[in-house]
Structure 1
Amino acid sequence: MSLSTFQSMFLPVLAGLILLTIGFNKRENNSGVLMMWLGMLSILGIMVWKILEKLH
């Protein structure tokens, strides 16, 4: 089963947004802050990757 380009980008973005949502709800704990960091880094990483892919 091969994933389309949309699906291959949608799943990591969705995972990052879920991490942000759960992390924001648990922001009083260190684990919540870590989840927010991971969510932001994953979404930022995907954006940078796609920009560099378009420039190459």
Structure 2
Amino acid sequence: MNKLSQISQVSYHVIQDIYKNPYRIVTTDTINRIAKALGVPATVLLEDVPEQ
């Protein structure tokens, strides 16, 4: 998480919160930064979850 935070320039705590709660609301900028750091399209990080 620390290395991903450094490469993506996203706060370590935000990365940690996303890991703990994948349903957390995240901005598209954050998703794009993480995806770029991982070398994958942003769509790989997204999942369509039906409303309950």
**Greater share of helix residues, 1 or 2?**
1
Largest Rg, 1 or 2: 1
Alignment TM-score, normalising by the size of structure 2 = 0.25
